[in-house]
Each structure stands twice: as C-alpha cells, then as structure tokens.
Amino acid sequence: MTPVQTSSAPTKVESVPLASSKRKLDEDQFFNNSNVKWLGGSDKPPYTKASTYSGAVADRERFLRETNGLTALQKHCVYFDGDADGIIWPTDTFFGFYALGFGLILSLLAVGIIHGPFSYPTIPYTGARWRDYLPDPFFRIWIANIHRNKHGSDSESYNRKGELQRQRFDDIFDLYSTAPNKDGLSFNDLVVMITTRRNLMDPFGWFAMAFEWGSTYLLLWPSDGIVKKDDVHGIIDGSLFTSIAARRREGLGAFHARERKQI
C-alpha cells in the first residue's frame, strides 16, 4: 500500500480586507452640528414673521404650510423666532410668552428657565478649538439644532430628531386620560403622568416636564378642566401658538367655545 504524501509547506491564506462599517449616526447629516442648514441646504428658514409672535396670524393651516418639512420640535419653536432668522433670543422668548398672555413675571421666568439650559446644546460648531466649547454670551437658541435639547422624563412624543412619534403621543391619552372618550387630560391626569414618567436620577428632566405641561395647562386653561387632545397636538407642532397670540392681540381671547374649531 503506497503511503499518501502530504506537503509540509504551510498553506498561504490570502487576507480579505474587512468592509468599513460606519454608524448611521455618522452618516446622518442631521446630527452634524457644524453646518446649520434648512431644507434644500438653505441658510434661511422657510417661514415668515406671520408664523411668529411678531406677525402672528390666526391660521393654523398657513403655519403648517410655511413650516412644511421642519420637524415637529422645530415647528414648536418657530413661533418664538420673532424676526424669522432661525435664532431665538431671550427677548424673543419673553415677548412670545407675553403675547400668549403669561404676563410679565411668568414671561421673565420662562426666559431664564428656557435659555439657561437650552442655549448651549444648540450652538453650531465652527471648528474653532476653544471657542466651540464656550457658551453663547447672549444665550441664543438655534432652532435647526433644537433636537439636541431633548431631555429625559418626558412624554416621548418627539424622537431624537425632534419628529413627532404619533403612536407615543396617542399613548399619553390612552394611558392617563380619565375623560370618557380619552380625548383630553385633566389637571390630575397631568400630575399622574408627570410623576409616573420620571426617570431615575433625572431632576432636570422632572422639572422640565413639569414646566412644559404646567405651562401648557396655563395657556389652554380649559373651562371644563380638561385640555383637549387636538389643542395639545397644536402645541406639540406649534400651530396653535400664532392663533392664540393673534386672537389675544385682537382682544378676542385665546378661545371661545363656538369658535374653537376655527382656530
């Protein structure tokens, strides 16, 4: 029987280069804070002063047309951009809240509560090694980067990009509403929601959520004690702000029972 001969020479294995793998986050230009751009790469926001407190028009459909393509969170902030340049100054927030009927003291408080923590994350990176880490001396907020201000212990109605998560928005009413048709939230419902959605060790998120929903209730101030789902949605996407401001400017009040559907 002839023995089988085997080669003692080592077998050469060709190395196959591994395909480079990138995070989707790295490829998503939306999270590139070095170049603040709007739709189509424009430096100018797509809306006009009619969608802000300075020229508010009581037309929710017009607001949604002008802000078409923006995320829900960006739309939520547009009303406070008085000169429609994409940047909210502390004075913008003051006059925006004042036009909604919050009064002098509450409007001043809102400026500190909002611009203190929410200005820094929205500052565009310029590439300057040290300057990019310094806070803005005027505490301005860049709307294009507002998604960077998403905090914990919230309703989760916005995702990380600031887009509306409709199912999670609906879940808020399904889970917490005591209204017969699950179409609104009472003050007690809001308290239960705020307390049960608190994340562990997140005092800033607890306070932020209480401020946001508390101011929502004060703004709507429902006669029957229940904030309606459609009105809350109008605040989430910002379309209700201009309507309320325009009606107050004309001396009509924020709401009227017979005219609510027209707002």
Nearest-CA neighbor of 210 among 146, 153, 257, 142? Answer: 153
Nearest-CA neighbor of 124 among 197, 201, 33, 190? Answer: 33
- Per-residue pLDDT 10s for the chain (263 aa) are 555 555 555 566 566 555 557 776 666 666 666 556 665 566 788 899 999 999 999 999 999 999 998 999 999 999 999 999 999 999 999 999 999 999 999 999 999 999 999 999 999 877 777 777 899 999 999 999 999 999 999 999 999 999 999 999 999 999 999 999 999 999 999 999 999 999 999 999 999 999 999 999 999 999 999 999 999 999 999 999 999 999 998 877 655 433 444 44
Alpha carbon distance 105, 103 (integer Å): 6
**Do the domain assignments include residue 110?**
yes
**What pLDDT is recorded for position 125?**
79
Q: How far is CA 12 from CA 9, 15, 30, 117, in A?
A: 9, 9, 46, 60
**Do the domain assignments include residue 3?**
no
Nearest-CA neighbor of 85 among 43, 22, 129? Answer: 43
Give the number of residues written for the chain.
263
**Do the domain assignments include residue 92?**
yes
Domain range spanning residue 80? 48-262
Alpha carbon distance 191, 176 (integer Å): 10
Nearest-CA neighbor of 138 among 93, 87, 89, 82? Answer: 89
**Do the domain assignments include residue 128?**
yes
**Do the domain assignments include residue 20?**
no
Distance of CA 126 to the CA centre of its chain: 23
**What pLDDT is recorded for position 132?**
78
Alpha carbon distance 190, 132 (integer Å): 39
Phi and psi (nearest 5°) for 39?
Answer: -60, 135
Number of domains in the chain: 1
**Do the domain assignments include residue 90?**
yes
**What pLDDT is recorded for position 25?**
65
The token pair at 100 is 């909604």
pTM, two decimal places: 0.84
**Do the domain assignments include residue 6?**
no
**What pLDDT is recorded for position 124?**
85
User: Which residue's entry shows tokens 């990380």?
Assistant: 160
Alpha carbon distance 23, 138 (integer Å): 34
**Do the domain assignments include residue 199?**
yes
Q: Answer for the pair 55, 48: CB distance below 8 angstroms, yes or no.
A: yes
Question: How many CB atoms are closer than 10 A to CB 152?
Answer: 16
